[in-house]
């Protein structure tokens, strides 16, 4: 586990160094015209690049979250069904425990003694 942590930190450090070098070497100002709007924005090239990455990542995360809606709904339905079955099993076991003359059914993989 220690080697994985060291490798993870090395990759993070290399990425941070790359980002700093990229930002330092791309400080030129660029004008960004937002076409339908009547104004322009001047910002450093590295900031435009990083903002584009962040916006793209947010769009991807949002699309995946929306696409996973059906899976989340199915998991909630199954969780409710499992909870209902567990309550039913507990009630049945309580009823069987109250009746000492009734033999308990064998569970799969268990022997009756």
CA atoms within 13 A on the CB side of 29: 5
One DSSP character per residue, 36-105 reads TSS-EEEEEHHHHHHHHHHHHHHHHHHHHHHHTHHHHHHHHHHHHHHHHHHHHHHHHHHHHHH-TTSPPP
User: What's the pLDDT at 68?
Assistant: 95
Bridge partners (DSSP) listed for residue 40: 33
Tell which wins on pLDDT, 111 or 91: 91
Q: Please state the pTM of the whole predicted model.
A: 0.61
Which band of pLDDT confidence, cut at 50, 70 and 90, is reported for residue 109?
A: low
Tokens of 87: 């309550």
> pLDDT at residue 113 above 60?
no
User: What's the pLDDT at 97?
Assistant: 86
The answer for residues whose C-beta is within 8 angstroms of residue 22's C-beta and 6 or more apart is 46, 49
> pLDDT at residue 105 above 70?
no
pLDDT in tens, 25-76: 999 999 988 888 888 999 999 999 999 999 999 999 999 999 999 999 999 9
């Amino acid at each position: 586990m220690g080697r994985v942590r060291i490798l993870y930190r090395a990759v993070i450090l290399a990425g941070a160094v790359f980002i700093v070098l990229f930002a330092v070497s791309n400080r030129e100002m660029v004008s960004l015209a937002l076409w339908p709007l009547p104004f322009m924005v001047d910002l450093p090239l590295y900031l435009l690049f990083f903002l584009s990455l962040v916006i793209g990542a947010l769009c991807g995360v949002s699309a995946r979250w929306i696409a996973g809606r059906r899976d989340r709904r199915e998991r909630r339905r199954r969780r409710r069904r499992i909870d209902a079955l567990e309550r039913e099993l507990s009630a049945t076991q309580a009823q069987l425990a109250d009746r000492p003359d009734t033999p308990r059914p064998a569970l799969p993989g268990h022997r009756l003694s």
